[in-house]
Amino acid sequence: MSIALAEHAAGPASVDVALNVLDPHSLLSAFGPVGVAVVLFAETGLLVGFFLPGDSLLFTAGVIAAAPATASLRLPLAGVLVAAAVGACAGAQVGYLIGARAGPRLLQDVSRPRLREGRDRARRYLGRYGFARAIVLARFIPVVRTVLNPLAGAVGVPARVFALWQVVGGLIWSLGVTLAGYWLGSSVHNVDHYLLPIVAAVVVVSLIPVALELIRGRSSIRRTAIPRPDTRACESSVQAEGRSDGD
């Protein structure tokens, strides 16, 4: 009895020491599907959650759900899918409500550079793609999916439009990435041995849209910075030279 109590008392302490909020495997080992819901809620609904590993967490959860019954860590696929959908959709809706209540001031005084960049990209997405496409596409871009939800509420995106498309985008993102991890875990033998490089590849792929957006932004800045030649002045100078040569 005393040994069981001692192990029970030592359990939470060992979890606290080993827990790393940036490590998907550590989060899933400590909290299971509940951790998936909480992390996605914080990442998509609260500005403070922009650093959390949403994509890699979903993918890792899918891989672990495909693990054999004898594995040291195995999650129920149905529980992971439900937790991912609830966390992603509820978080986005709360973020929208925060933006609608707090107004534009919420994102005007952002101090962190990554949040400022995410805010600016989110605004460009809303202007370029319209409400529906921007809300869905933002789900697949880190930081942007954190900032766009309160920004949509602050700029007055209609509540019904936002609710519809954030659910559509949230389900496609959360369920799609999780099922991709589950499929890979079911198809590749001993995939857990390659989990770290696979997660790193998922993170890199998720950052590709951000890199493309930065490249486009810089190219547009360069185009506007390069002075265009005054064609009228050139034509007049050519005509003047022609007249002088004729004389």
* Domain presence at residue 233: no
Q: Which range of residues forms the domain containing residue 84?
A: 2-226
- Note the pLDDT of residue 121: 73
| Two tokens, residue 9 | 């008392």
- Note the pLDDT of residue 195: 58
The 10 Å Cβ neighbour count of residue 20 is: 12
* Domain presence at residue 132: yes
Question: Residue 159 to residues 96, 98, 164: CA-CA distances in angstroms?
Answer: 8, 12, 9
- Note the pLDDT of residue 149: 92
- Note the pLDDT of residue 6: 39
- Note the pLDDT of residue 211: 59
- Note the pLDDT of residue 240: 53
Count of domains forming the chain: 1
* Domain presence at residue 243: no
* Domain presence at residue 192: yes
- Note the pLDDT of residue 41: 96
* Domain presence at residue 240: no
Inter-residue contact 185 to 64 (CB < 8 Å): yes
Q: Which residues contact 145 (CB under 8 A, 6 or more apart)?
A: 43, 44, 54, 92, 138, 139, 173
Q: What is the pLDDT along the chain (247 residues), one digit of tens a residue?
A: 333 433 444 444 444 445 676 778 888 888 999 999 999 999 999 888 878 888 889 999 998 998 887 778 889 999 999 999 999 999 999 999 998 888 667 666 666 676 677 677 777 778 788 888 889 988 988 888 898 898 888 888 899 999 999 999 999 999 999 998 898 888 876 655 555 666 666 666 656 665 565 566 566 555 555 555 444 544 454 455 555 555 5
* Domain presence at residue 244: no
* Domain presence at residue 151: yes
* Domain presence at residue 178: yes
